[in-house]
Amino acid sequence: MKYSKRRCRAAILSAALAFTMLPAPLANAAELSAPLPAAETQAIEDTNLLADFDFNTDPQDGKFTSKDAVAAIVGAGATLQDRDADQGKALYLDGSASYLDVKKSDNSSLLTGLKELTISFEAKPDRTSTNWGFYAAPNADRQGVNGEHYIGALINGGTTTLERYHQSGSRPRSASAATGTDWTHVDAVFSETDTTIYLDGVKVSAEASNYALTDILGQASIFQIGKANWGNGEYTAIKYTSVILGRR
């Protein structure tokens, strides 16, 4: 089932944030291997919403604005395209060195200080190789193997993986799910104790985490749509109809 962003706009965050209110501990391996029920929805107050980018309006001065968040286009490979009559427009990143740099309107960090976070996006990859749905880190420095410090949604080979790293040494396990190459609605839920991925409102994978978001992101974090800071930058060939950020 494909989600219509107009039909589900009010429920996108509620489905994901409902999980962050469930009691610990996480489901065990046997429970996660069984079919998972649809997420319980709850009304989400507007105060929980950090940003709602629907890409139906042309950017102004190269920027999309929602609430107190500003997503600035970096590079020349970002365009708005028609998706279809029901869905409106989509932001297309063409895989070149182009992405969205998201900050508050005063140019400060949007995510610093958050203990829990939900990032929802509806997207269609334009290639099967590495894409980044989103990426947040304490700064714009390059990442290093076995010393990673970031959260991100890696879309690669038809699978979306929610990475949550703040370690020196081997990586912990990550929540991941098969998302294919068609339009998929993803809710990425980062609670204080675990990371969970929902596809089209259904919980499909969860992993416990000892890494607090405040420790990972530090005091001046960055948030990017369509780029991760590996090497000279890993970019995205993907279409988005929405990117929504919320807090508890």
212 is a domain residue? yes
Domain assignment present for 196: yes
Q: What is the pLDDT of residues 56-66, one digit of tens each?
A: 999 999 999 99
CA dihedral 189, 93, 157, 186 (to 10 degrees): 20
* pLDDT for the residue 86: 73
For residue 56, what are the domain limits?
5-23+47-246
DSSP 8-state code for residue 48: G
CA 124 to chain centre: 14
Give the residue-averaged pLDDT of 153-177: 97
**106-155 pLDDT, tens digit each:** 999 999 999 999 999 999 999 999 999 999 999 999 999 999 999 999 99
How many domains does the chain divide into? 1
- Whether residue 80 is contained in a domain is answered as yes
72: pLDDT strictly greater than 60 = yes
Give all strands (DSSP E) within 85-171, no chain letters: 88-94, 99-104, 117-125, 131-137, 149-156, 159-166
What does the pLDDT read at residue 45?
56
Judged against a pLDDT cut of 60, whether residue 99 lies above it is answered with yes
Q: pLDDT tens digits, residue range 206-226?
A: 999 999 999 999 999 999 999
- Whether the predicted pLDDT of 1 surpasses 90: no
Residue 7 is predicted with a pLDDT of 36
193 occurs within a structural domain: yes
The pLDDT value given to residue 29:
40
54 part of a folded domain = yes
Q: How far apart are the C-alpha atoms of 197 and 175, rounded to whole Å?
A: 6
Digit-coded pLDDT (tens) for 169-206: 999 999 999 999 999 999 999 999 999 999 999 999 99
Q: What is the pLDDT of residues 4-42, one digit of tens each?
A: 443 344 343 433 343 333 333 334 443 443 444 444 433
In a domain, 152, yes or no: yes
Tell me the whole-structure pTM to 2 decimals: 0.85
Name the pLDDT band for 49 (thresholds 50, 70, 90).
very high
Q: What Å distances lie between residue 62 and 78, 89, 121, 218, 241, CA to CA?
A: 10, 17, 21, 28, 17
pLDDT of residue 233: 96
Report yes or no on 38 lying in a domain: no
Residues 92 and 79: beta-carbon distance below 8 Å: yes
CATH code of 176's domain: 2.60.120.200
Q: What is the average pLDDT across 86-106?
A: 94
Q: Say if residue 228's pLDDT is above 80.
A: yes
Q: Which residues contact 232 (CB under 8 A, 6 or more apart)?
A: none
Residue 87 has a pLDDT of 73
What local confidence, expressed as pLDDT, does residue 34 receive?
42
pLDDT band at residue 83 using 50, 70 and 90 as cut-offs: confident
Residue 30 forms part of a structural domain: no
CB 131, CB 238: distance < 8 Å: yes
